[in-house]
Amino acid sequence: MSLLDAKIPAGPLAEKWSKHKFNLKLVNPANKRKYDIIVVGTGLAGASAAASLAELGYNVKAFCFQDSPRRAHSIAAQGGINAAKNYQNDGDSVYRLFYDTIKGGDYRAREGNVYRLAEVSVNIIDQCVAQGVPFAREYGGLLDNRSFGGSQVSRTFYARGQTGQQLLLGAYSALNRQIHLGKVKMYTRSEMLDVVIADGHAKGIVTRNLINGNIDTHTGHAVLLCTGGYGNVFYLSTNAAGSNVTAAWRAHKRGAFFANPCYTQIHPTCIPVTGDHQSKLTLMSESLRNDGRVWAPKTVEIAEQLRKGTIKADQVKEDDRDYFLERKYPSFGNLVPRDVASRNAKEMVDDKRGVGASGFAVFLDFADAIHRLGKDAVAAKYGNLFDMYYQITDEDPYKQPMRIYPAVHYTMGGLWVDYNLSTNIPGLYALGECNFSDHGANRLGASALMQGLADGYFVIPYTLGDYLATIGPKPVDAKHPAFEKTKQDTINLINTLLSMKGTKTVNEYHRDLGHIMWEYCGMARTEEGLTKAKGLIKALREDFWKNAIVVGANEEVNASLEKAGRVADFLELGELMVDDALMRRESCGGHFRLESQTPEGEALRDDDNFAFVAAWEYKGDNQPEVLNKEILDFEFVHLTQRSYK
């Protein structure tokens, strides 16, 4: 085990980033055009980074597996983006956004990173508005805000329930402008399958063209992974069907540390599962908790009647309802952070007070809001979400409360990066959800969009230059043997996958893995359950390589092959997540270790033993990974047990 240096600049919190920017080396404008930068993924982090670096003069090669960069999964983010603008005059500040985020993350994030995030949040809104992003506005023509969980100010900027779409289209337009100018070369339907490490530095990638199967190598002076999170390891999540861990995982296998893999966000308000056929879970934005009230019936008897359908929710008397978040957390009420809301919904279900046919749901009720504001006002705020709920469930949420249940939504863990967003491999960077850096053990709502764009627009354009200036503009040697070797490794893996003609589909393995992960490595975890899960995943993985079916050939469009490679990586990641969860014998953020709770049954952190980042180091196939620790220093905030009461 070694101790990792995050390279957080010394000095007062508010001066760290400014001083650091001054101390970073610069690349002179005439030299920038001599550098090639590879950007993998075109979501908020990737598109904003690619566009901003191209504007500076670097040559950018951008890659996405979708048919267009506009379709990256950032597009699906609904609720909003936080920024410490204090436009509402309600007491917000950079320091408050910093503090809320550190606290919301249950004191498992770096102070320096989080402060920088809060600091640049204000620039993000300015940038997006300048691009023509149509944020919601007040009648006076100025920007509107709403509230999100874990904060008592209104600092969330939004564009109806489609904020991610509008922000991504803004970044996509900036990217398009650079493609038009010839500064970005865009590769669509291209999947990164490996990173090329030459003499200890990242110098390129290997991709598969998803149309004709060509395996290509690409050179770059630096490689930026902006490839999102790995929530699909749970099979059912709010992620897009194609979201996967492959780029990050293969980089991990080439030496990049993977940090806090067990930190998963389980979002409280999703549409419940209806059956085994289900391919994804749909989120209902956290913004709904501004006006919706969460409740479950007070008694098991009433819950049973609701489950059988003999009574409907609106027939349950006010006295028979338990608005459990308002009851337990009077100061934050329905706007407690996501982990707290999720855990409480699970408690209701464990208590046999869940509703819906399956019993795995609680209510999110808008009757009061409709009564107070009128149906039209509610529709203006949340109309598209209500329509989506209606489409999926065939129930009208204007008449009956929504049924909601927690689902996997976001992964706070990811590739370990230092303050410069560099992994431990020189030249290999990770941005956005792909890295682990800013959300600790729980991410606050409307902070993912903020982090993706902060990394891409305002952090990497500064920090990358320092590395590039150090290595110099000499062209990358495409003849270095590492390129051919890495390409051959990729081809070998593809050939192995294509030779698998067993009896069970890759999707079936994926679903089995998801069941194990959700059951034992989800919201509540125990030593016993995790130990069992480790054995189950290992057995499943061994079976996968013996009995999975992969059809078709490499030289064609082959979704079966694409999915097989992704599931193979999820099967390895799953085991690491379980190892990480086993090691972390404390309840923190979204993760409740049953062995670690207060007498009242609330999550109990263990700061003496676990105030560190767990960065795992790959040691070869079937070898245990090695734990490296980065100790988290808290100079400016005082660690307390979180309370939202």
Partner 1 sequence: MSTNNNMNLTLKVWRQKNAETRGAFVTYKAEGISPDMSFLEMLDVVNESLIHKQDEPIHFDHDCREGICGMCSLYINGHPHGPKNAITTCQLHMRTFHDGETIVIEPWRAAAFPVIKDLAVDRSAFDRIQQAGGFVSVNTGGVPDANEIAIPKVIADEAFNSATCIGCGACVAACKNASAMLFVSAKVTQLGMLPQGQPERYSRVQAMVAQMDAEGFGSCTNTGACEAECPKEIKMTNISRMNNDYFSAKLFREEAMHEHAASGE
CA dist 60 and 33 (Å) reads: 10
> Of the candidates 93, 152, 209, 282, which one interacts with partner 1 according to CB under 8 A?
282
CA 362, 243, 593 angle in degrees (round to 5)? 50
Binding mask 436-475 for partner 1 (x = CB under 8 A): ---------------------xx--x--------------
Least distance in angstroms from the C-beta of 364 to partner 1: 17
Q: Which residues inside 490-509 make contact with partner 1, applying CB under 8 A?
A: 501, 503, 505, 507-508
Q: Which residues inside 572-631 make contact with partner 1, applying CB under 8 A?
A: none
Q: C-alpha dihedral over 629, 634, 635, 640, to 10 degrees?
A: -160
> Contact at 8 Å (CB) between 424 and 19?
no
Q: Is 554 in the site for partner 1 (CB under 8 A)?
A: no
Q: Is 24 in the site for partner 1 (CB under 8 A)?
A: no
Q: What is the DSSP string of 584-629?
A: --S-BTTBEETTSB-TTS-B---HHHH-EEEEEE--STTPPPEEEE
Least distance in angstroms from the C-beta of 383 to partner 1: 11
Burial of 315 (0-12, 13-18, 19+ CB in 10 A): exposed
Between 128 and 497, name the residue whose CB sits nearer to partner 1. 128
Single-letter amino acid code for the residue at 7: K
Q: Which residues inside 288-307 make contact with partner 1, applying CB under 8 A?
A: none
Least distance in angstroms from the C-beta of 170 to partner 1: 9
Q: Is 561 in the site for partner 1 (CB under 8 A)?
A: no
Q: Which residues inside 327-366 make contact with partner 1, applying CB under 8 A?
A: 357-358
Distances in Å between the Cα of 339 and the Cα atoms of 409, 426, 440, 448 are 11, 35, 12, 15
CA dist 114 and 209 (Å) reads: 37
Segment contacting partner 1 (CB under 8 A): 160-168, 252-260, 532-540, 616-624?
Answer: 160-168
Between 246 and 423, name the residue whose CB sits nearer to partner 1. 246
Which residue in 146, 250, 338, 343 is the catalytic one?
A: 338
Least distance in angstroms from the C-beta of 508 to partner 1: 8
Between 129 and 491, name the residue whose CB sits nearer to partner 1. 129
Between 99 and 509, name the residue whose CB sits nearer to partner 1. 509
Segment contacting partner 1 (CB under 8 A): 44-52, 101-109, 395-403, 536-544?
Answer: 44-52
Q: Is 138 in the site for partner 1 (CB under 8 A)?
A: yes
Between 23 and 391, name the residue whose CB sits nearer to partner 1. 391
| H helical segments located in 455-558 | 460-471, 481-498, 506-520, 527-547
> Of the candidates 22, 29, 30, 277, which one interacts with partner 1 according to CB under 8 A?
277
Q: For residue 234, which of 209, 264, 203 has the smallest C-alpha distance?
A: 264
Least distance in angstroms from the C-beta of 44 to partner 1: 13
Contacts of 496 (CB under 8 A, 6+ apart): none
DSSP category for residue 257: -
Q: Which residues inside 373-412 make contact with partner 1, applying CB under 8 A?
A: 387-388, 391-392, 394
Least distance in angstroms from the C-beta of 207 to partner 1: 17
Q: Radius of gyration of the chain from Cα atoms? A: 24
Q: Is 241 in the site for partner 1 (CB under 8 A)?
A: yes
Catalytic residue at 372? no
Q: For residue 404, which of 639, 629, 238 has the smallest C-alpha distance?
A: 238
Residue length of the chain:
645
| H helical segments located in 264-334 | 300-308, 324-328
Q: Which residues inside 87-106 make contact with partner 1, applying CB under 8 A?
A: 87
Active-site residue set: 338
